[in-house]
Amino acid sequence: MTLKDSEKTTGASQPISLWDLSAPSSSEEAPLEGGIVTDVVIIGGGYTGSSTALHLSEMGIECVVLEAEKIGFGGSGRNCGMVNPGIWLPPQDVRTVLGDESADRFLDVMGRAPDTVFSLIDRFKMKCEATRNGTIHAAHSPAGFKELSARAQEWQRRGREVILLDEDQTQDKIGTSYFYGGLLDPKAGTVNPMGYARELAAAAVSKGAVIYSQTRALNLTQVNGKWQVRTQRGTVTANQVVIGGNAYNDDLWPGLKQAYTPIHFYQVATKPLGKIADKILPEAQSVWDTGLVMSSVRKDQFGRLIVGSMGKLAGKDNNQSEYWAQKRINQMFPFLGKVEFEKAWHGKIAMTPDHLPRIHILAPGLYTAVGFNGRGITTGTVCGEAMAQLLTGAPEQDIMLPVTGLIKDRAAFIREPAYEACFKAWCYYKSI
């Protein structure tokens, strides 16, 4: 069975990805009915929203989460599941963008971000297939290996114990001679991303947060100095608001969708492969490469192989994407031969022009974090913590990123179709 273009699914009961089916089920949150008053209302039940709710609740702040569908319905439940330090941009380039002081603060937080995620997993005993044997950034070319060497040097200078792998070492770790080397981050890891989203929400509830699912925020206004969020069946009045939709933001706040370029990433999962899968990623790392059109590969705990690339699912019944996935598997693991596919899905990533996330103050008492650039698990988690710090009075200069007004990417409307056309052409080229 293949999941058909799951992003078009609107029913919250429908599976949106493999992870939606394989993660332990969560408690059912009821929709909001009537009017309530709280300290903070959080819009979006993914990593950012649930992390904000958890950290606020642990500070004793009353908060409510409104999720339009179900927990993890957006990017959180469609993620690759890699728990990486969380920056697309090479760390040595962050200083050029942010300046020395802001860059040091940001890199310190993001360098520790896997520790933050795995400490939450340990503390709340989250059931999410957590494996902390590292992740591998694999060089698709000699130039890619040169780039990884520079990344390794900078992370090591900052005290992070990353390991630069040569071709033979990379082959031993991944099970293929396809790559020119790799960068192993031993403190990174892998999770079932929907499992982590559900468990993060459950942790927030255990600390006192209230979550309403199937409750879409339709209107956001200020009334007598308070924020009021209107939904289809009720209202929430609060002192402060966090919008946590990232790439899945709608038109609730004018101009917010113009702060980033939404692009797609699709994944295709095989059926469980059995013992032969032991030859692939024997230490259970996950992999993404240095290609301009990035691709990824990992296994789940049941022995499925999951490969992904930029773009939407393509072809009748996703056959073009599955054909690409088969060719990709043949390139890396020819001993597998023809495989059977079980699930295919895609999700959206919010990309910014400089590949760094943003924390915006949209109005007094109204905050958002966007632009996770495909690093949602760690970035969403630590941005949620930053939101909680801001809302409880922490100085803006102590937050992980500079807090700015809304900055629109005025070329986003050009970039989005251009990227999609590029990814579609790349998929077609690689599948012929």
CATH of the domain at 29: 3.50.50.60
Arithmetic mean of pLDDT, 32-52: 98
Comparing 430 with 173, which gets the higher pLDDT?
173
User: Is the Cβ–Cβ distance between 54 and 350 less than 8 Å?
Assistant: no
Give the percent of the chain with pLDDT over 90: 83
Q: Is residue 333 part of a domain?
A: no
Place of tokens 């044997």: 133
Residue with tokens 């790559």: 179
Domain with 392, as residue range(s), is: 10-79+194-259+354-412
From 37-41, 300-304, 415-419, 425-429, the region with the lowest mean pLDDT: 425-429
Does 301 score more than 80 pLDDT? yes
In a domain, 3, yes or no: no
- Does residue 38 fall inside a structural domain? yes
Of residues 316 and 279, the one with the higher pLDDT is 279
Structure tokens at 244: 């946590």
95, containing H or E segment: helix 91-98
Mean pLDDT of 152-166: 93
Confidence of residue 432 (pLDDT cuts 50, 70, 90): low
Q: Is residue 241 part of a domain?
A: yes
pLDDT band at 431 (very low <50, low <70, confident <90, very high): low
Q: What is the C-alpha to C-alpha distance for residues 113 and 187, in angstroms, rounded to an integer? A: 10
pLDDT digits (tens, 9 = 90+) for 367-418: 999 999 999 999 999 999 999 999 999 998 899 999 999 998 877 777 777 7
pLDDT at 6 over 50: no
**Average pLDDT in the 163-186 region?**
98
Question: What pLDDT sits at residue 168?
Answer: 98
CA distance 428 to 432: 6
Task: For residue 93, tell me if it sits in a domain.
Answer: no
* For residue 319, pLDDT beyond 70: yes
User: In angstroms, rounded to a whole number, what is the distance separating the alpha carbons of residues 337 and 432?
Assistant: 18
Work out the average pLDDT over 41-67. Answer: 98
Question: pLDDT tens digits, residue range 322-363?
Answer: 999 999 999 999 999 999 999 999 999 999 999 999 999 999
Q: Positive or negative CA dihedral for 331, 264, 181, 144?
A: positive
- 219 forms beta bridges with 230
Give domain status of residue 265, yes or no: no
CA distances from 129 to 125, 192, 301 (A): 11, 5, 7
Q: Which residues of 146-155 are buried (b: 16+ CB within 10 A; e: fewer)?
A: ebbeebbebb
The burial of 141, by beta-carbon neighbours within 10 Å (0-12 exposed, 13-18 middle, 19 or more buried), is given as middle
* Residue 13 binned pLDDT confidence (cut-offs 50, 70, 90): low
Find the mean pLDDT for residues 189-212. 98
The answer as to whether 126 is a domain residue is no
Separation in Å, CA 96 to CA 103, 109, 409:
8, 18, 19
- Residue length of the chain: 432
372 in any annotated domain: yes
CA nearest neighbour of 268 among 6, 39, 74? 6
**Domains in the chain, number:** 1
Contact (CB, 8 A) for 194 and 72:
yes
Residue 343 region by backbone torsions, left for phi larger than 0, else alpha for psi between -120 and 50, else beta: beta
Place of tokens 């969380």: 86
